[in-house]
């Protein structure tokens, strides 16, 4: 990815939730920043969709922008709603489910 993802946004005030629309029965994403030191990705997860259990080699922070997600980290379950955040520790298994449609911004620091 190049910096073009942000070029159209520089100098403008914008609603980040409007950068990506929900699609019925799908998970859509848009990578806003992809650098050696960090990635920032916007996700729109339709109701009932899941991101299956996986691990990542780096810490990440999930910021829920809209809706509600059920998140499992290791053996603990969390319900996270718009305006709330949750940290995914490196190398810990985690999964997400859209109990209702939700949008999140995921920032992973390498």
108, 38 Cβ separation under 8 angstroms: yes
pLDDT of residue 4: 56
- pLDDT tens per residue across span 57-81: 999 999 999 999 999 999 999 999 9
pLDDT class of 32 with cuts at 50, 70, 90: very high
Cα distance between residue 68 and residue 64, in whole Å: 7
Q: Is the pLDDT of residue 1 over 80?
A: no
51, 90 Cβ separation under 8 angstroms: no
Q: Is the pLDDT of residue 19 over 90?
A: yes
pLDDT of residue 2: 46
Average pLDDT, the chain: 92
């Amino acid at each position: 990815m190049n910096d073009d993802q942000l070029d159209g946004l520089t100098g403008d005030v914008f609603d980040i939730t409007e950068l990506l629309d929900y699609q019925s029965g799908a998970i859509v994403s848009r990578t806003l920043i992809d650098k050696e030191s960090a990635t920032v990705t916007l996700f729109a997860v339709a109701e009932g969709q899941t991101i299956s259990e996986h691990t990542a080699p780096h810490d990440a922070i999930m910021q829920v922008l809209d809706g509600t997600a059920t998140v499992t980290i290791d053996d603990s379950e969390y319900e996270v709603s718009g305006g709330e955040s949750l940290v995914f520790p490196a190398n810990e298994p985690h999964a997400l489910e859209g109990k209702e449609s939700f949008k999140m911004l995921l920032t992973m620091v390498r």
